[in-house]
A and B are shown apart, each in its own frame.
Chain A
């Protein structure tokens, strides 16, 4: 796949190197010619120095044949504009933008643009590490508002209905693995000690889920 990344700062360069190492063809754009140095000598993709809003610059980086486009400049407004141009003008199938803070997130939602908000992600992650050390998520959704976490059922919950752990809008049991076999627990399913249960949980309810499980995760 051809991937275009605009913004060759630390994040852009690291992503470009990762994707190139995995075999993707990568075109990187940065307004600053010296940013090329961040890609290192081993980088076998393309670097275009120029303003990412200029069509010739984007086209030189291969936006016309790109399967994915990522806007990672330091300017949040520019990332919004770039993402929309990639999607609506060049019809790139997969487009992502990075926002440093959430100011422009409502507009991105209105425009239907997928964004990651770096401050949100950092705060969310650190908050979780500080408060919920034993609830490492398998997967996060959106900007981390919802998480998929897995935990082993402690002995004191033996024989209780799995559905008892559900809290509307906060916690939902979605899967149960017992002796290596996975199933989606029905309404009457009972827990056994040692079951591995998957929950989708709102990040604000992590403390509550931890409380249910006595904080004794394994």
Chain B
């Protein structure tokens, strides 16, 4: 699958690596140029010192963490705001199979999700829910197919059906 990850902080970076390691082609959109460059370096193909497996980097957001395991898929990094149509187009939104709105700001995630579904017709959009209080907002009216928070993901893992 071709997947766009909007937001290249710690969660976005690790998500991109997990998806790429599972064979998907991932494009990460990150607005902070320094963080984007750092992520591009950590996910560059053929880099030296890639961990043998498992480790997905321990550095904080943009903090020069370890290389990320991305094979057999790929990770490309686009610098820009995922709230901008042209940036999402550059990230390949018109041919993407899915997008994950993964920034640390729930309003930003809603805007990205609405842009992706309504203007770029990305078939599947999943959003990160940073604050459970905002869950009521993250729904189909914004193009969000599924909203996932750490709490809901953990609850779902613990007891299927317990979380959303």
Kindly provide the distance from the CB of A107 to the nearest chain B CB, expressed in whole angstroms: 5
Q: Once the chains are docked, how many angstroms separate the CA of A80 from the CA of B107? A: 8
Q: Once the chains are docked, how many angstroms separate the CA of A148 from the CA of B129? A: 46
* Nearest CB in chain A to that of B105: its residue: A77
Which residues of A are found within 8 Å of B84, using beta-carbon distances? 103
Which residues of A are found within 8 Å of B110, using beta-carbon distances? 77, 80-81
Q: How many residues of B contact A (CB 8 A)?
A: 19
Q: Once the chains are docked, how many angstroms separate the CA of A202 from the CA of B119? A: 27
Which residues of B are found within 8 Å of A76, using beta-carbon distances? 83
Which residues of A are found within 8 Å of B119, using beta-carbon distances? 106-107, 110
Which residues of B are found within 8 Å of A88, using beta-carbon distances? 141
Q: Once the chains are docked, how many angstroms separate the CA of A49 from the CA of B34? A: 34
B114 and A53: CB pair below 8 A?
no
Q: Once the chains are docked, how many angstroms separate the CA of A104 from the CA of B141? A: 17
Kindly provide the distance from the CB of B91 to the nearest chain A CB, expressed in whole angstroms: 15
B107 and A78: CB pair below 8 A?
yes
A55 and B105: CB pair below 8 A?
no
Which residues of A are found within 8 Å of B137, using beta-carbon distances? 53, 81, 85
A23-67 residues at the B interface, CB under 8 angstroms: 51, 53-55
B15 at interface, CB cutoff 8 A:
no
**Which 8 pairs from chain A and chain B are nearest by CB?**
A78-B107, A77-B111, A77-B107, A81-B107, A77-B108, A103-B84, A81-B110, A110-B118
Using a CB–CB cutoff of 8 Å, the interface residues on chain B facing chain A are: 81, 83-85, 105-108, 110-111, 114-115, 118-119, 133-134, 136-137, 141
7 further A-B pairs in the complex, CB-CB below 8 A; given A54-B133, A88-B141, A103-B81: A53-B107, A77-B107, A77-B108, A78-B105, A81-B107, A81-B110, A103-B83
Using a CB–CB cutoff of 8 Å, the interface residues on chain A facing chain B are: 51, 53-55, 75-78, 80-82, 85, 88, 103-104, 106-107, 110-111
